[in-house]
Amino acid sequence: MRVHLGSDHAGLELKEHLLGWLRDNGHQPVDHGPFVFDAVDDYPVFCLRAAEGTVHDPGSFGVVIGGSGNGEQIAANKVEGVRAALVWSDETATLAREHNDANVISVGGRMHTVEEMTRFIGIFLNTDFTHEERHVRRIAMLTDYEETGDLPALPASAVGHGPDA
């Protein structure tokens, strides 16, 4: 499978490692940069391209990497059709795929060892979405909101409560 990668300077070392690791594990990495170390580069330049690449390449996944992974996840999630998950453990890598059908993983290069992050990415790439009705329903609500801007209907138990009352 093709895997689109983007990072900033804090994720460059892991990205370079992943290019070889992905090839060695039968994947086709697509490197969206950066290509050289620049301590003041801007993650949106590269992470938005990796996210766009993922959306426009059906069946592919994306990996965005920064110091914490937070900004990179936010950037990726600005691209319509991306469901990027910040992953910090084996369990969050698994749940991002099983429950959220995430197509982009974000990791923090300063938060974990290269070995840990590589394991998270391996888990993510090898975990399938469960297709359970409740997860499909929730993703459909998000997709509908993304496309229309219409908020999901309130459940009967919430009608008459909160700011919509």
pLDDT tens digit sequence for 115-137: 999 999 999 999 999 999 999 99
Asked if the model's pLDDT at residue 159 lies above 80, the reply is: no
Measured on CA atoms in the order 140, 58, 60, 45, is the torsion positive or negative? negative
Check if the beta carbon of residue 43 is closer than 8 Å to that of residue 62. Answer: no
Indicate if 80 belongs to the active site. no
Catalytic residue among 4, 9, 52, 72: 72
Residue 15, both tokens: 């990205």
Catalytic residue among 99, 116, 132, 161: 99
What is the structure's pLDDT at 163? 74
Which residues, other chains included, contact 37 with Cβ-Cβ below 8 Å and sequence gap of 6+?
9, 12
pLDDT tens digit sequence for 11-66: 999 999 999 999 999 999 999 999 998 899 999 999 999 999 999 999 999 999 99
Domains of the chain (ranges, CATH numbers): 2-130 (3.40.1400.10)
What is the structure's pLDDT at 165? 63
Indicate if 131 belongs to the active site. no
